[in-house]
Amino acid sequence: AQKVTQAQTEISVVEKEDVTLDCVYETRDTTYYLFWYKQPPSGELVFLIRRNSFDEQNEISGRYSWNFQKSTSSFNFTITASQVVDSAVYFCALSNFGNEKLTFGTGTRLTIIP
């Protein structure tokens, strides 16, 4: 069975601080995908990134970066120089290569204080 754990339920930081959202996953599959989604107060799910299990390179996109470590089954997400618009619930998710069903973590609510 697949499982995704986001231990941080809520995080609050002051604007311009850096913040890291943790994600730990469990799967018996050797090949899989990992995702991050953002859900702002308006409610839609915004795709941020997909990584496959073969690619452990860290990724940077503007103020966002992701650290994938298979040895610890973690896929953490860092926002640098946070902004108020980053306030949202962030979900980490996992799928296998077969049916693409997403197993979501319980989400981390991030609040950026101006």
77 binds another protein (CB under 8 A): no
Q: Is 43 in the site for another protein (CB under 8 A)?
A: yes
Q: Does 2 bind another protein (CB under 8 A)?
A: no
Residues whose CB is less than 8 angstroms from the CB of residue 92 and which lie 6 or more positions away in sequence, other chains included = 4, 6, 21, 23, 25, 34, 35, 36, 75, 77, 104, 105
Query: Cα 63 vs. chain centroid, distance in angstroms?
Result: 14
Q: Which parts of 90-109 interact with another protein (CB under 8 A)?
A: 91, 93, 95, 97, 99-104, 106-107
Q: Are 36 and 92 in contact (CB under 8 A)?
A: yes
Pick 89 or 112: Cβ nearer another protein: 89
If one asks whether residue 3 binds another protein (CB under 8 A), the answer comes out as: no
7 touching another protein, by CB under 8 A: no
How far CA 38 is from CA of 66, 72, 76, 93, 99, in Å, comes to 14, 23, 14, 11, 22
Binding site for another protein (CB under 8 A): 33, 35, 37, 39, 43-45, 47, 50, 89, 91, 93, 95, 97, 99-104, 106-107
